[in-house]
Amino acid sequence: MVERDARLLGVGGWSPDSLDHRVAWLRYLFVHPDASGQGVGRRLVEAAEASARSAGRGQLRVWSSLNAVGFYRALGYRSIRRAAMPLAAEIDIDYVLMARN
């Protein structure tokens, strides 16, 4: 979590992969639009990565929305594949699976 002047600017974290003890999934990364471009997202990802690595999870994965692919690439993540995830009947959201070791 990143706060400034008692105001929440962003949140993020990770969770373990249930099948592979080496993998951590970045999850729930959100940055307030007013804080965009100020390094909040980078700090959240770096903190989540450090926490995951300290727990022995050095392979990081994230399902990135299309608008965040460039952000993750700038942090060293590579695209693995694109997929559509169903949101509701006849509504899919496109994502990109990205990884960093």
Q: Does residue 87 register a pLDDT over 90? A: no
Domain span including residue 66: 2-100
Domain count along the chain: 1
User: Domain of 18: which CATH number?
Assistant: 3.40.630.30
Give the chain's largest Cα–Cα span.
43
Q: Give the mean pLDDT of the chain.
A: 95
**100 φ, ψ to 5°?**
-150, 135
Give the model's pLDDT for residue 1: 87
pLDDT in tens, 20-68: 999 999 999 999 999 999 999 999 999 999 999 999 999 999 999 999 9
Give the span between the Cα atoms of 73 and 27, in whole angstroms.
16
Q: Does residue 85 register a pLDDT over 90? A: no
Give the model's pLDDT for residue 90: 87
